[in-house]
Amino acid sequence: MRKILLEHAKKGDVVGRNLYSSNGNILLSAGIRLTDKYIEKLQELGVDDIYIKDGVSKDIFIEDAIKEETLINVRKNMAEEMDKIKLSRTEDAYISMKLIGNIMEYILENKDVVVNLADIRSTNEYTFTHSVNVCVLSLVLGLSLGYDRQRLLELGTGALLHDIGKNFIPNDIINKLSPLTPEEYELVKTHTSRGYEVLRENKNIPELSSYVALAHHERYDGTGYPLGKRGEDIHEYARIVSIADVFDAITSKRPYKMKENPSRAVDYLISMESRQFDEQLLSKFLESIAVYPIGSKVKLSDGSLGLVISENREMPTRPIVRIIYDRKGNRMNMGEMVDLMKHPTMFIKEDMEQVV
């Protein structure tokens, strides 16, 4: 199976895996053949890409980063909790620790998981989907740092609730298509302190988890907000969540921007290491994500095009690629396998939206 942009899907393509809405309803089941009506409806729902089964990808298996039912449950509950907060029902307006525990337990059972962000993203409802993604990414990084269950629970809670203060910012500002005015930007920045305030009101939320909501926009060089803290004066939880937050934001589609491929997000993070981000934490983070996810399309430096069929955990920028078109443009039905770890002079030149 492989992932393609929905705009490149065509009538007769076979759906490779169940496609869910953020509330857990199945939009399309694996094995169904696409029709023009299905494609049109998915476009209306804001679906960007879809997994399909075809000849060139029939033996490619894409493992779930997190169980589908776990993510569906968390997204559904997250949406409900957000609604409660908007209604100011603060006494019960917080995610149960059990939700973070469900994610945490799965990650602990699958310690070698490499996160393909496309597999944990729902079709829409950015705010709470983003929060779930940031939680997963942060927990995987925390695990790689050797965190025990208590620290993972504190980190995961803070990551899941890091943007909770945005519920107090008008949606027309959060989703504004044009650049924010200075006054609007200052208002958006208050989501950190507003989030911290509401979390501190709840005795079941650990202090350090609440702190993540306050400090996830602090930057390693002191240029962040709201306090302008720098380096290790920023708690490690917040430094972790800041990396996960920016990575997911770059790779997400928003009303005012298109999403970028993971490799572009990685390039940005690396360009900002030791300035915006903790270099050591960023290095660990890059070991935990799929820079070129299995099933993605890439162009190699020799001009050939291929599909990523396996990741190299030690060096995520150098996966194993199956050649689909050779350098002369000839179609290769089951082409040569190229392990970029064994071909030091070859590299991925760019991600390709569509090669077959």
pLDDT digit string, tens, across residues 268-308: 999 999 899 999 999 999 988 888 888 888 999 999 999 99
pLDDT digit string, tens, across residues 207-230: 999 999 999 999 999 999 999 999
What pLDDT, on a 0 to 100 scale, did the predictor assign at position 354?
A: 44
The boundaries of every CATH 1.10.3210.10 domain in the chain are 66-288
Residue 64: pLDDT over 70: no
pTM of the model: 0.81
What pLDDT, on a 0 to 100 scale, did the predictor assign at position 65?
A: 58
3 forms bridges with which residues in the sheet? 51
Q: Locate all alpha helices (DSSP H) within 175-261, ordered by sequence.
A: 182-189, 191-200, 207-215, 236-250
Q: Are 173 and 139 in contact (CB under 8 A)?
A: no
Residue 119: pLDDT over 80: no
The dihedral through the CA atoms of 44, 351, 311, 143 has a sign that is negative
CA atoms of 117 and 122, how far apart (whole Å)? 10
CA 33 to chain CA centroid, nearest Å? 28
CA atoms of 272 and 145, how far apart (whole Å)? 21
CA atoms of 314 and 119, how far apart (whole Å)? 21
Q: Residue for token digits 């709470």?
A: 128
CATH 3.90.105.10 fits 2-62, yes or no: yes
* Residues 278/284/287/292 CA torsion (nearest 10 deg): -20
Task: Tell me 273's DSSP state.
Answer: B
What pLDDT, on a 0 to 100 scale, did the predictor assign at position 336?
A: 86
How sure is the predictor about 159, in pLDDT bands with cuts at 50, 70 and 90?
very high
Could you tell me which residue, 66 or 285, shows the higher pLDDT? 285
Residue 316: pLDDT over 70: yes
Average pLDDT score over residue span 136-145: 92
What does the mean pLDDT of the chain come to? Answer: 83
CATH 1.10.3210.10 fits 66-288, yes or no: yes
- CB-based contacts of 350, cutoff 8 Å, min separation 6: 298, 299
What pLDDT, on a 0 to 100 scale, did the predictor assign at position 67?
A: 62
The boundaries of every CATH 3.90.105.10 domain in the chain are 2-62
Element of type H or E holding 142: helix 126-144
71 forms bridges with which residues in the sheet? none
The dihedral through the CA atoms of 213, 217, 222, 228 has a sign that is negative
What pLDDT, on a 0 to 100 scale, did the predictor assign at position 356?
A: 43
Mapped onto helix, strand or coil, the DSSP state of residue 282 is: helix
